[in-house]
Amino acid sequence: MSGPEQPAPGILRLTCETPPPPGWPRPFFYLLGREKLLLIDTGYREEQTVSRLQSLLMRNSARLEKLVITHGHVDHAGAMAEIKDRFAPRIFAHEMEKDLLEARGLALAVDEWLTGEPVIESEAGPLKVLSTPGHSPGHICLWLEQQRALFTGDLVVGEGTSFVGPPDGDMSSYMRSLQKIKQLEAELIFPGHGPVIREPKRHLASLVEHRLLRETQILLLLKQGPATSRELETRIYAGLIHPGLYGVAEMTVMGHLVKLEKEGKVVSETVGGEKKYRLLVPLPF
């Protein structure tokens, strides 16, 4: 957690020391308030985060009252148990994220499983919980209406795109969640990775466009003949991304394929032991 930034009044933006795997972006998390603090996400599990939080709290005579988890991946929820042990905040996560947190041994730290879209009070203002599945089943965003600021976890990242694919992701839900947060007309987005987004409208429009473009690209490739997810991934991403991300890119392609299959636009069939996808509909282009 190198030096915290203060991107808006009453909001500190923190990161951790653990380097992410090659090609992956560093996680960011946020501390809200002045005396009774609320933390959104924790970064990776590491002792430095806990000790730096400790000195930050002592310096400001503050107390960590609440911790809200946007979703259960280890770069966002990894230090939950350690933070609970040291500061005993009340910990919130969405009930739809329970399985994922259980699988990572983190569910026991949660005090309150959120259902629906409640409001969580903070010194920076009331935080409205928004259910935004897609990156993971119980992913939430937090809407600080008072500052027209949205904390997006991994639904929207500051640079590039978030991973949406099996086993945790669902592209159809992801697209619906993007449309949902577009309606808010936020003025600031505090993402779980990458820089603070100061032009949310443009950023969100380009994200939606990017996903639709990728979908079109997959359909066009399938027009040339059936292909496996790996073949599609190679044709789309070769030379464009860090080799450490090829596996993730294939899963992202899978995410699109699952959506297209649900929509009846493609079908999968096993040919010679390989799962190939075939186009089912004529393309208007």
Part of the chain binding Zn ion (CB under 5 A), chosen from 11-19, 62-70, 119-127, 150-158: 150-158
The residue among 155 and 279 lying less far from Zn ion, judged by its C-beta, is 155
The residue among 49 and 70 lying less far from Zn ion, judged by its C-beta, is 70
Part of the chain binding Zn ion (CB under 5 A), chosen from 13-21, 23-31, 101-109, 153-161: 153-161
Q: Is the C-alpha dihedral spanning 127, 54, 78, 242 positive or negative?
A: positive
Binding to Zn ion in span 60-79, by CB under 5 A: 73
Least CB distance to Zn ion at residue 61 (A): 33
Taking phi over 0 as left and psi of -120 to 50 as alpha, with beta for the rest, 219 belongs to alpha
Question: What is the rounded CA–CA span in Å between residue 79 and residue 50?
Answer: 8
In sequence order, the 6+-apart residues with CB closer than 8 A to the CB of 110 are 69, 80, 91, 92, 93, 98, 101
The residue among 163 and 277 lying less far from Zn ion, judged by its C-beta, is 163
Give the type of residue at 31. Answer: L
The residue among 27 and 200 lying less far from Zn ion, judged by its C-beta, is 27
Least CB distance to Zn ion at residue 9 (A): 28
Shortest Cβ contact with Zn ion: which residue? 73
Least CB distance to Zn ion at residue 154 (A): 4
Part of the chain binding Zn ion (CB under 5 A), chosen from 33-41, 115-123, 151-159, 193-201: 151-159
Question: What is the rounded CA–CA span in Å between residue 265 and residue 283?
Answer: 10
Least CB distance to Zn ion at residue 69 (A): 11
| CB contact at 8 A, 26 and 193 | yes
The residue among 33 and 72 lying less far from Zn ion, judged by its C-beta, is 72
**Should residue 154 be labelled a site residue for Zn ion when binding is judged by CB under 5 A?**
yes
**Should residue 94 be labelled a site residue for Zn ion when binding is judged by CB under 5 A?**
no
Task: Report how many residues bind Zn ion under the rule CB under 5 A.
Answer: 2
The residue among 73 and 265 lying less far from Zn ion, judged by its C-beta, is 73
Part of the chain binding Zn ion (CB under 5 A), chosen from 23-31, 82-90, 147-155, 170-178: 147-155
The residue among 105 and 126 lying less far from Zn ion, judged by its C-beta, is 105
Least CB distance to Zn ion at residue 139 (A): 8
Strands of 127-131's sheet in order across:
119-120, 127-131, 140-144, 149-153, 188-191
DSSP structural state of residue 46: -
Token reading at 62: 């503050």
| CB contact at 8 A, 88 and 95 | no
- Alpha-helix runs per DSSP H in the chain: 47-59, 74-77, 80-87, 98-103, 171-182, 200-223, 229-237, 246-262
| CB contact at 8 A, 36 and 88 | no
**Should residue 168 be labelled a site residue for Zn ion when binding is judged by CB under 5 A?**
no
List interacting residues with Zn ion (CB under 5 A): 73, 154
